[in-house]
Amino acid sequence: MNFERLYINGEWVSPQSTERIKVENPASMYRFAAVPVATDTEVDAACRAAADAAWRWQESPLAARLTICEKMLAQLLTRKAEIVDIEIQELGAPSQMAEKVHFDFQVERMRTFMRLAQEIEFREELEHSTLYREPVGVVAAITPWNYPLGQVVQKIMPAILMGNTVILKPSQHTPLSVYYLVDAFHQAGLPKGVLNLVTGRGGDVGNVLASHPLVDMVSFTGSTIGGIEVGKHGLDSVKKIHLELGGKSPCVILPDADIDQAIRACFNSLLLNCGQTCSALSRLLIPEDQKEAIETRLVEILQEYPVGDPREEGTKIGPLASEKQFTKVKKYIETGLAEGARMLTGSVPTEPIGGYYVQPVIFTDVTNDMQIAQEEIFGPVLCVITYKDLPDALHIANDTIYGLNAAVHGPFDEAVAFARRIKSGNVYINDSARDVTAPFGGYKMSGIGREGGIEGILEFTQSKVLFDHDA
């Protein structure tokens, strides 16, 4: 795959600028590839191509869009081994995770979107009118580095299926797997202009996209600070804004919970992707009278999650994705110690040698007003916070600017009742599995709108009402 190209108006084109952004393997610190920095002229060309294609694509029947998506998926499956390898290289994802989470699960998502799209009612008779659901138009999709393929799938699949055209700007840190997806659409015969790929830095290319007059909707996933900036650019011309942002998600262990089950569920969330997940359960709320017993099991069960080379069998935690992330996480660990938290396990990382590896850190004696308990660390760092009673636990769980994800462990009815009072878009009960048909998104500063499921598909539509019935 030639990564030093842009995809504009149905063609792989050579970039105008000679500037390149190097892509680093975080497990070896070796820069093994590079992508172009799109100029404002190229971003404008991509937006114009998407706008020119918008009407024709909108008029195409859903069946035709589904056929192209099915052909795309068939193409993508033939490149599975290459994509998995790229995810290992550009993100540092352990091999099994790269295959199961970063590829197989995304294929399942694609198939789910294609199935659910057929359930959408594009025309609905109301009492005295007819409701039509139409495409928004031209969508700028700006995606993060932590799930290079997955975050793209969440946006462009429903956008394209609903008849929108797309300009995709992936993260400059992990942009490579996206090339395979775009090329699969190309090979599947996607009409010119429906999907365009421009690479570059978010503050440059992303902001130009968000401000462009031909863009009708901005769909952004990333930090809350980044989302606010992009949203401001989009609102200058009153675009539709769709934001999936940060989190500081609580995992609440109720007094009669299965402790081991709760700890493993928390670790499976927190340590997935080396803690670089917006929905990671990074605050563990436990009854103060069970503190010692739970701390003991935390240390013991953590041994089931070894850190190592992503390509080695048995590795569950790879490196952090970049030097920037390494420095950020190191600073937060130092901050936690300075705030008076006690390190139950782990250490302050030294300067990286051979890769950006960080051993998981469990902080105990944490109070919810500490910086490490309030800010998104985006690394393998767990904050253990005790509570006196259930009202205290609920207060702590909701005492955050975020509201993306949560979990409650305990007797089912009690856990559900507690979960209903948590201000969060998603809450897991005990060992429940993730549902790909469910919407995902947050309360408060965790975002605007939803991704996934029917609700996530409808984000890429707008409603038109014709008052065409006699009263």
Question: For the segment 372-388, what is each residue's pLDDT rounded down to a tens digit?
Answer: 999 999 999 999 999 99
Q: Are residues 191 and 45 in the same domain?
A: yes
Mean pLDDT of the chain: 97
Handedness of CA 338, 342, 346, 347 (dihedral sign): positive
- 458 in a structural domain: yes
Residue range 101-127: mean pLDDT, rounded: 97
Contacts of 47 (CB under 8 A, 6+ apart): 138, 140, 167, 196, 209, 212, 214, 215
pLDDT at 230: 94
For residue 426, give the CATH number of its domain.
Answer: 3.40.309.10
pLDDT digits (tens, 9 = 90+) for 163-195: 999 999 999 999 999 999 999 999 999 999 999
The structure tokens listed for 23 are 């892509």
Number of H helices, E strands in the chain: 16, 22
Cα 304 from Cα 302, distance rounded (Å): 5
* 3-class DSSP assignment, residue 411: coil
Q: How many domains does the chain have?
A: 2
- 257 in a structural domain: yes
Q: Are residues 303 and 180 in the same domain?
A: no
- 12 in a structural domain: yes
Cα 400 from Cα 398, distance rounded (Å): 6
Question: Is the pLDDT score of 202 beyond 90?
Answer: no
Q: Are residues 297 and 326 in the same domain?
A: yes
Among this protein's residues, is 278 annotated catalytic? yes
H helix or E strand, kind and range, residue 442: none
Q: Are residues 311 and 185 in the same domain?
A: no
pLDDT at 471: 63
Q: Are residues 78 and 160 in the same domain?
A: yes
- 471 in a structural domain: no
**Considering 69, 266, 278, 383, which one is annotated as catalytic?**
278
Residue 352 near residue 326 (C-beta atoms within 8 A): yes
Residue range 301-314: mean pLDDT, rounded: 96
Percent of the chain with pLDDT over 90: 97
pLDDT digits (tens, 9 = 90+) for 209-259: 999 999 999 999 999 999 999 999 999 999 999 999 999 999 999 999 999
Tracing tokens 């702590």 back to the chain, one arrives at 396
Cα 269 from Cα 272, distance rounded (Å): 5
Among this protein's residues, is 266 annotated catalytic? no
Strands 240-244, 123-125: pairing is unpaired
Instruction: Give residue 289's pLDDT band: very low, low, confident or very high (50, 70, 90).
Output: very high
- 137 in a structural domain: yes
**Considering 24, 229, 244, 295, which one is annotated as catalytic?**
244
Question: Is the pLDDT score of 118 beyond 70?
Answer: yes
Q: Are residues 236 and 109 in the same domain?
A: yes
Q: Are residues 217 and 181 in the same domain?
A: yes
- 67 in a structural domain: yes
For residue 180, give the CATH number of its domain.
Answer: 3.40.605.10
Residue-number span of the structural domain to which 16 is assigned: 6-245+446-466
Closest to 407 in 3D by CA, of 271, 325, 285, 238? 285
Q: Are residues 237 and 88 in the same domain?
A: yes
- 441 in a structural domain: no
Q: Are residues 430 and 454 in the same domain?
A: no
Q: Are residues 228 and 324 in the same domain?
A: no
Q: Are residues 216 and 278 in the same domain?
A: no
Q: Are residues 75 and 223 in the same domain?
A: yes
What is the distance between the terminal CA atoms of the chain, rounded to a whole angstrom? 60
- 1 in a structural domain: no
Phi, psi values for residue 55, rounded to 5°: -65, -45
